[in-house]
Structure 1
């Protein structure tokens, strides 16, 4: 380990330019070490680890997370993970999500229409945060009026998960969110509602109450901020590229390709953690059993290994392979849902607010280090259509 390049992850030049940040990390070599983590930066090594949960375990990586319920499905490896995916997959397929499309589109349109009546907007607070929360509530058959409480709990929990001072942590939001989800599961166990949660509680292969609460908890804490982050990154690119906006307005079919490129260039979970179950050699480096490993998806998506993996958009009418949603058995369960949300946001926004720009003096920098590479704010100046 002493011979390995030493990386200080928080010092990478990532805040203003992820291309520069991931390039700097790749320059350390295929394996680097820092802050107790081994960083894998090469495509073949990362993909091999993603596909080998027997050696690069997700289960062990989540053992240290404090949770009174099983973290379904993230905290499990096959065969348990395979069972959960089999149960959950039908609800997150494009066909199943298509049933929800009218509702999710109407919700996106309502939010954007409200914004369109004004001359300015703070995207993160007014669009990127509330919309994914509404989608979760709709999906799980929960009241939309609970949106603000859900956002407050999520934000508080994520904020204290990043603190370096555990003595200052207030566990009240975590307790309240756990209580809310537990009550929701109990209500829907007794009286089913339309939505995924009731289907999972009353279907042919049911989740237990604890499993259902764990799934809901994972979705809130790992599924909402990721979409929030990508909406922010997407709106930033549209704000500073008027020619791109014009192209997408003239060719709405191109929105799918643009969204895919945003997921490649700005993956909301650019690093995924694993723990080795035995000694293993990667790129000539021996990692010990129990090594904490970070698989750098953000680095391999921009590695230049082919003509579709650089630092700029490739908008040629085709959808190109990337690893913005991970890979292997743990590939993001909600990838189709995330794509749908992003396409709806871009479509509804451009149809109502085709002209906008960054607020004067605003410098777009993500919070770094961060699990999701999220812009803290994104203020825009809007130009409304004239009648």
Structure 2
């Protein structure tokens, strides 16, 4: 008679123990190798693709509703802090604003902002990508989408950074919630102003549409945009330019044929998933890998690990540039699949198109070792100094 493992027999591995900072291939392999179900940091991490995909699909058992309480938002974050059927309503309201047709109308403005930022960078012979491009550009995009002044960019970034630090704390008991309160106050004022004088921006439209969001729902949406959106795009831009700095052959390919930039961006989102782990909470006992997790168990779904699990020819650790857009799980799946996936693709595509047309030849500054912040909500580089060449590096 075979015995079934219990919770005490699950392998333990805290995220900080993963060798992630220098090489995600090594880090995610270490997580997968630890076992199909891993305990650590107060969570159970599901490491097999089939289990992760089942959790993404099954919102009745794996709830998103209670999984986002630690980010300092004064109200539930729309739509990620809701499960169906409430979540279904929010998706129906918001989906049209993130369609390619809607975003296409904003494309000229977003492209011009990328041009302005990158023109300034290209006037020099080096740059620090994170502070000069990866942080300011997505922040400006958010302000444009919400119809807010671009001059508010720097304080928006400061609030966002402080609130994400709050989310990393074990407890909010001793946390300084001042940044969260200040951001809530700012967004509350913006919501009131957009109700009084609506424009053609997304915030105005969700407040005045046929099924309008109330003030609290709009505030929760703003938090999602800022906390879930800005850092992920920052991470993607930094990772993209690091990958290209290390791959002159791929740079030459994209410069010669910019139509391949979407293929590269899709591989970037697979290999360097900017939302590498997403949380859920179980609503009832559920069996995973022969172990019964109790109701109320905090669960992590490692999207970045299953994207590299080698289960097929396009899910390994190597960059696949075969001209095709391959499926991956960087945006999650199921009812909670990332609402802003079109925007999250558009921003790196715009940045890379404008960057490569102006700065085709670049490399990591000599002596600098690019390490991502880990553990952290996104696999972001805190710093990436690049130096620009006149052609010799691109001919390797």
Q: Provide TM-score, normalisation by structure 1.
A: 0.97
**Deviation, structure 1 residue 160:** 3.2
Cα deviation code 1:39-83 (max 9, x no counterpart) = 101111100110000000001223455432231101000000000
In the TM superposition, what are the counterparts of 1:112-261 in structure 2 within 5 Å? 112-163=118-169, 169-261=175-267
CA deviation vs aligned residue, 1:101-122 (integer Å, no higher than 9, x gap): 1110000011000000011100
The Cα offsets for residues 248-272 of structure 1, whole Å up to 9 and x where unpaired, read as 0111110000000000000111111
What's the CA shift for 1:222? Answer: 1.1
SS at match of 1:2: helix
- What secondary structure sits across from 1:60 in the alignment? coil
CA distance in 2, matches of 1:178, 1:232: 28
Distance between the aligned counterparts of 2:177 and 2:390, measured in 1? 44
| Residue 262 in structure 1 maps to residue 276 in structure 2 | no
* More deviation, 76-85/171-180: 171-180
Choose 111-120 or 150-159, whichever is displaced more: 150-159
Deviations 1:4-30 (A, max 9, x none): 111121110101011100000001111
Looking at structure 1, the residues matched to 147 and 51 of structure 2 have their Cα atoms a distance apart, in angstroms, of: 40
1:35 aligns with 2:7: no
Query: How many angstroms apart in 1 are the aligned matches of 2:276 and 2:95?
Result: 23
Partner of 2:28, secondary structure, is: helix
Decide whether the 8 Å contact of 2:70 with 2:172 is kept in 1.
no
User: How far did 1:172 drift?
Assistant: 2.2
Gaps in structure 2 of 5+ consecutive residues:
1-6, 392-396
Determine if the alignment matches structure 1 residue 108 to structure 2 residue 114: yes
Picking from 363, 368, 381, the partner of 1:362 is 368
1:165 and 1:115 mapped to 2: Cα distance? 40
Partner of 2:340: 334
Contact 2:72 2:180 in 1 (8 A): no
Partners of 2:30 and 2:13 in 1: how far apart?
Answer: 10
RMSD of the TM alignment (CA)? 1.5
Could you tell which deviates more after superposition, 251-260 or 172-181?
A: 172-181
Unaligned runs of at least 5 residues, structure 1: none
The corresponding residue for 2:68 is 62
